[in-house]
Amino acid sequence: MAGAYPAKPHPHLGQSDHLSLFLNPKYSPLINRARPSVKTIKASCGLHADIDNLTSSVLDHITTTIDSNATTKQITTYPNQKPWMNKEVRLLLRVRNTAFRSGDARAYSTARANLRRDKKGKHTYKRKIEGHFSNSDPRHMWQGIQAIIDYKPNNSTPTAMDTTFLNELNNFYARFEKDSNSSLRTPLPADHQPLTLSSNAVYIALSQINPERLLVLTASLDMCSEHV
């Protein structure tokens, strides 16, 4: 359907030779429907650690220790933000996108290489998830399972939205199934005769095939499938 998904060019994905296309649907995505959540945490001065690990460690200390050795800090978390996206990964992504928009091929290639080599964020998040299953604490284990399945309690109030465009998309794709079912229910004509084949007719048809031409046709089909 025209205008359903406007396309916008984005940088390459990994080592791909082609640009990626961001298809932005006409309906409002989750990042636009839900407001980002702002959390207040206790962060030790000069400590650059994962926010979730830092929060867990701070909550284990007594209140007097927190007040004397920690400062108050606000962070913004978006609904579609990956859990392993730390400050270093966001900085590398920003550098790559800036190089892509500038048109400098050498700077863009360098930024892509630096982003591929940086795996600290994912490795840190992997060790954090594995740490949930390193002991026999059921509560700690369930927290790890919720992190794996990306479980989030639904506390938001549903808002009314225009479903006209969604119904148009549904009807557009459902027409194929409707046409297919209607064709299956079409009755056969009264003078319809079923196709019958005898073994002698099959033998005569197969004996007329030239094996050499059949091999050439098979090789041509293989070459076409490789190109496709």
pLDDT digits (tens, 9 = 90+) for 27-75: 777 787 788 888 887 655 555 556 677 666 666 666 667 667 767 778 7
Give yes or no for a contact between 110 and 98, defined as CB atoms under 8 angstroms apart.
no
Give just the sign of the alpha carbon dihedral 99, 100, 104, 107: positive
Residue 26 inside a domain? The answer is no
Question: What average pLDDT does the segment 169-192 reach?
Answer: 70
Residue 126 within any structural domain of the chain: yes
Residue 128 lies in a domain: yes
Look at the chain and report how many structural domains it folds into.
2
Check whether residue 124 and residue 141 sit in a common domain: yes
> Taking the model in full, what pTM does it have?
0.34
Q: Is residue 142 part of a domain?
A: yes
Which is higher by pLDDT, 218 or 99? Answer: 99
Pairing label, strands 70-77, 37-44? antiparallel
| Residues linked to residue 75 through DSSP beta bridges, in sequence order | 39
Q: What share of the chain is helix, strand, coil (3-state, %, to 5)?
A: 50, 10, 35
Alpha helices in 149-227 (DSSP H): 164-184, 199-207, 211-227
For residue 134, give the 3-state DSSP assignment.
coil
In a domain, 206, yes or no: no
Looking at the fold, whether 106 and 90 belong to one and the same domain comes out as yes
The owner of tokens 């033998």 is: 203
Instruction: Please tell me whether residues 143 and 130 are part of one structural domain.
Output: yes
Look at residue 130 and tell me if it is in a domain: yes
In a domain, 137, yes or no: yes
Q: Are 98 and 109 found together in one domain? A: yes
When pLDDT is averaged across residues 160-182 and rounded to a whole number, the result is 73
- Retrieve residue 204's tokens: 């005569």
- 206 vs 195: CA distance, rounded Å: 18
Domain end marker among 97, 132, 150: 150
Look up the domain containing 101 and give its range. 85-117
- pLDDT at position 228 is 45
Query: Which residue in the block uniquely carries the two structure tokens 């949930």?
Result: 132
Mean pLDDT, residues 119-148: 80
- Asked whether residue 105 carries a pLDDT value surpassing 80, the answer given is yes
* Distance set, CA 7 to CA 14, 16, 98, 103 (Å): 20, 18, 19, 19
Position 7 in a domain: no
When pLDDT is averaged across residues 101-114 and rounded to a whole number, the result is 88
